[in-house]
Amino acid sequence: MFVQISCSPGRSLDMKKALFAKIAFDVPRFSSRKAEDVIINPLETSRENWSFGLGAAQCAL
C-alpha cells in the first residue's frame, strides 16, 4: 500500500516518525494489509504552491 501525504514543510523528524508509526499500526487494524506492506511518502510543498479553491493562492505571502 502506498500512502502519499501532501503537506507544507515544517514538521520535525520526530513528528514524521510518529505519524509513520501510527499509520503503520492502524492500517492492519482497518484493512487486510500488513504493516510491512505500507509505504509512506510525505510530499512537502511550500505554502505558495497551494490553492484552496477559486484559483487563489491563499497562503502566498
The CATH number of whichever domain residue 40 belongs to comes to 3.30.429.10
- For residue 27, give its domain range: 2-49
Cβ–Cβ < 8 Å for 27, 20: no
Q: What are the grid coordinates assigned to 42, written together? A: 510525505
Please name the residues in contact with 22: beta carbons below 8 A apart, sequence gap of 6 or more.
Answer: none
Query: Has residue 57 been placed in a domain?
Result: no
Query: Has residue 37 been placed in a domain?
Result: yes
User: Where is 18: in which H helix or E strand?
Assistant: helix 13-30
Query: Has residue 8 been placed in a domain?
Result: yes
pLDDT by position in tens, the chain (length 61): 999 999 999 999 999 999 999 999 999 999 999 999 999 999 999 888 888 888 777 777 6
State the total domains in the chain. 1
Report pTM. 0.77
Which pLDDT belongs to residue 59? Answer: 77
Rounded to 5 degrees, φ, ψ at 36 are -70, -10
